[in-house]
Copies of this chain bind each other. A is one copy, B any other.
Amino acid sequence: MRRDAELNRERLVTAAREVFAERGLDVALDAVAKRAGVSIGTLYNRFPTRGELVRAAFADNVDTVARLGEHALGLADPWDGFVYFVEQVSQLQAADRGYNELAGSSSAEDLSRGYDLMSRIVARAREAGGLRADFTLEDMAFVTWSITRTIEATAGTSTTVWRRHLALILDGLRASAAHPLPEPALSREQLADIYRDC
Contacts and interface: CB of A to CB of B under 8 A. Distances in A.
Interface of A: 104, 132, 135, 139, 141-142, 145-146, 148-150, 153-154, 156-158, 160-161, 163-165, 167-174, 176-179, 181-186, 190, 193-194, 197-198
A138 B167 CA distance: 15
Closest 5 CB pairs of A and B: A172-B172, A177-B177, A146-B146, A164-B183, A171-B172
Contact of A157 (B158, B179, B193): B193
B164 A171 contact: no
Contacts of A149: 104, 145-146, 148-149
A80 to B, nearest CB: 13
Contacts of A161: 183, 185-186, 190
Contact of A182 (B104, B150, B164, B172): B164
A120 to B, nearest CB: 21
Given A171-B171, A177-B177, 9 more contacts: A104-B149, A139-B168, A146-B146, A146-B149, A154-B186, A157-B193, A164-B181, A167-B183, A172-B172
Given A158-B186, A169-B169, A145 B153 contact: yes
Contacts of A135: 168
Nearest to A104: B149
Contacts of A141: 150, 153
A180 B6 CA distance: 51
Contacts of A165: 139, 142, 146
Instruction: Name, among A139, A170, A177, A179, the residue most crowded by chain B CB atoms within 10 Å (CB to CB).
Output: A177
A139 to B, nearest CB: 7
Given A145-B153, A146-B146, A168-B142, A160 B173 contact: no
A47 to B, nearest CB: 26
